[in-house]
Homo-oligomer: A and B are copies of this chain.
Amino acid sequence: MKRGKTFIVSGPSGVGKSTVLNALLERRSNVYFSVSATTRDPRPGEEDGVHYHFLDVDTFRSWIVNDEFLEYAEYVGNFYGTPKKYVDAAMNGGKDVILDIEVQGAIQVTSKRPDTVRIFIAPPSWAELERRLTERGTDSQEKIQKRLLRAKVEFQTAHTYDYFVINDTVENAVRELDAIMTAEHCKPRERMEIISGR
């Protein structure tokens, strides 16, 4: 069976990444959406292994020591990370893996696995991102301005990504993501067995 590939999808808060990725999963079968591990407590309705892999701090530390994370970070006193084993199981099973992680995590993953494909999802404009964050209604105006500033900082690294998708409409963004995944499977290194096997 042909091994799957891993795709990192980054993008600022409010860009509509979840909507785009959910639509992508409907279009492409054979995709595993990576579930992060965390040391924070489950919130009501969150299931272990579905929303997160919930670990205690000692377990998380031992996974770090044993190099069992593709990337990890601390955020407001809690640890978050991408366990290797679920990613590898999916890839070995022929599935493509999507990692929804931030710029810092993307750097960690690609330094370990340079063949990981990095896709940055950007808003059509900053004004539109501000509008989406405001419309969402979950953040104060102060928090929205902080998110915008953070988005602009992250955006400075967007040119280091392999692909740059603009979420002007969900349909366009999904079409481009889908095309990128198909195209990446057409790279000669992905088809070396066919090329060398003749």
Question: Taking the nearest CB of chain B, how far is it from the CB of A103, in angstroms?
Answer: 14
Of A178, A184, A192, A195, chain B has the most CB atoms within 10 Å of the CB of A195
Of A17-25, A65-73, A79-87, A158-166, which stretch is located at the interface? A158-166
Q: How many copies does the complex hold?
A: 2
> For residues 12 through 54 of chain A, which have their beta carbon under 8 Å from a beta carbon of chain B?
none
Interface residues of A in 65-120 (CB under 8 A from B): 119-120
Question: Is A137 among interface residues, defined by CB-CB distance under 8 A?
Answer: no
Contact partner of A163 (CB less than 8 A), chosen from B163, B176, B188, B194, is: B188
Q: Which residues of B contact A192 (CB under 8 A)?
A: 159
List A residues 157-198 near B (Cβ within 8 Å). Answer: 158-166, 175-176, 178-180, 182-184, 186-188, 190-192, 194-195, 198
User: Which one of B155, B160, B166, B179 lies within 8 Å of A183 (CB-CB)?
Assistant: B179
In the assembled complex, how far is the CB of residue A162 from the closest CB belonging to chain B, in whole angstroms? 7
Q: Kindly identify which residue among B155, B180, B195, B198 contacts A164, using a CB–CB cutoff of 8 Å.
A: B195
> From A184, which residue of chain B is reached at the shortest CB distance?
B183
Q: Is the CB of A195 within 8 A of B158?
A: yes
Q: How far is the CA of A161 from the CA of B163 in the complex (A)?
A: 19
Say yes or no: A166 contacts B191, CB within 8 Å.
Answer: yes
Question: Is A9 part of the binding interface, using a Cβ–Cβ cutoff of 8 Å?
Answer: no
Which residues of chain B are near A144, meaning CB under 8 Å? none
- Structural contact, B175 and A182, CB atoms closer than 8 A: yes
CA distance A180 to B183 in the complex (A): 5
CB pair B176 A161 closer than 8 Å: no
Contact indicator B164/A188 (Cβ below 8 Å) = yes
A165 with B186: in contact, given A178-B179, A195-B159, A198-B155 (CB under 8 Å)? yes
5 A-B residue pairings within 8 Å (CB atoms): A155-B195, A159-B188, A163-B188, A164-B186, A179-B179
Q: Which 7 A-B pairs have the closest CB atoms?
A: A183-B183, A179-B182, A179-B179, A163-B186, A180-B183, A159-B188, A179-B183
